[in-house]
Amino acid sequence: MDSAAGTTAAPLRIGLLGTGPWARNTQAPALAAHPGVELSGVWGRRAEAADALATAHGTRAYTGEEGIDALLEASDAVAFALPPDVQAPLAVRAARAGRHILMDKPVATTVEGARAIADAVAEAGVASIVFCTLRFAPETAAWIAEQTALGGWFTARAQWLGSLYAEGSTSEYADSPWRREKGGLWDVGPHALSVLIPVLGDVEHLTAAPGPADTTHLILRHSSGASSTVTLGLSAPRGAAGVEIEFRGEHGTASAPGWDGAETAFRGAVDALAETVRTGVPHACDARFGRHLTELLVAAETQARV
């Protein structure tokens, strides 16, 4: 209750753009179950997919160009579960319509696309969040804050290896064309960078080299003076897959804890968006950060392809 007004704050109306596995498994369930949110609708390029997901969560389906405008009209904010270069122009469109935006990472795969989003958000004065899982999962978010406050780090190591494209994999996420084209650098790279940058500072120098299959290796020099190494890929054998992030410094070694899945983390991102809407204070993981991630990934991809 609002003690001054004596009324309960209205829920934040959030529409969902996208109907694929990520939308079905993470975003739609998290939005529909969130006590401070009204899932105002689901838009999809395929009407049958939009109908099925909307029906499953008791909301309205939208499709087509006119459906995007209708969903924006029915919403205070929109969440995206779309390929990055489909997401980018729609995020600009939503921001220009005065809607807050909750984007998936990466926000775009071109600097121009990412810059257009950040500019539109700034010009419209809307709130923005980029969903990098470890920044919003309660366990890892608290751990990142602790390591940032502690300081004194000398170096760090991040390894994020998936087995999405390993022999015998049956993951439905492997059917994503953009993920297959761009590989682990773009899919899981934002997660690793979103942990390293707040703790060690901005990346001042980057070196990238290709590894086996879609694997990419990075060496980063940070503004704090610390360095880090990063290994990213989606094609590791199943026995080699896993996530490890470790800092080493004056106080010893700190290793990232596990976390309770993407849906819980996404609820944290929704909370962060609502807090930014309420206070007007930008979150560190906003459209500007999304633009910077894209800048770093473009630089790494360019080097690794040489």
Summarize pLDDT for 67-101 with one digit per residue, the tens: 999 999 999 999 999 999 999 999 999 999 999 99
Beta strands in the chain (DSSP E): 12-17, 37-43, 61-62, 77-80, 100-104, 128-131, 153-161, 203-210, 216-222, 227-233, 242-249, 252-255
Eight-state DSSP code of residue 2: B
According to the model, what pLDDT value does residue 3 have?
37
Evaluate whether 101 touches 78 at the Cβ level (below 8 Å): yes
pLDDT tops 80 at residue 7:
no
d(CA 162, CA 78): 29
Helix (H, G, I), strand (E, B) or coil at 88: helix
According to the model, what pLDDT value does residue 194 have?
98
Interacting residues of 78 by C-beta distance below 8 A, sequence separation 6+: 14, 15, 16, 17, 71, 72, 94, 99, 100, 101, 102
According to the model, what pLDDT value does residue 62 have?
98
**Lowest-confidence region among 7-21, 44-58, 135-149, 251-265:** 7-21
Evaluate whether 301 touches 294 at the Cβ level (below 8 Å): no
According to the model, what pLDDT value does residue 8 have?
59
According to the model, what pLDDT value does residue 305 have?
87
Give me the residues paired with residue 15 across strands. Answer: 41, 78
pLDDT tops 50 at residue 2:
no
* Cα of 274 vs its chain's centroid, Å: 16
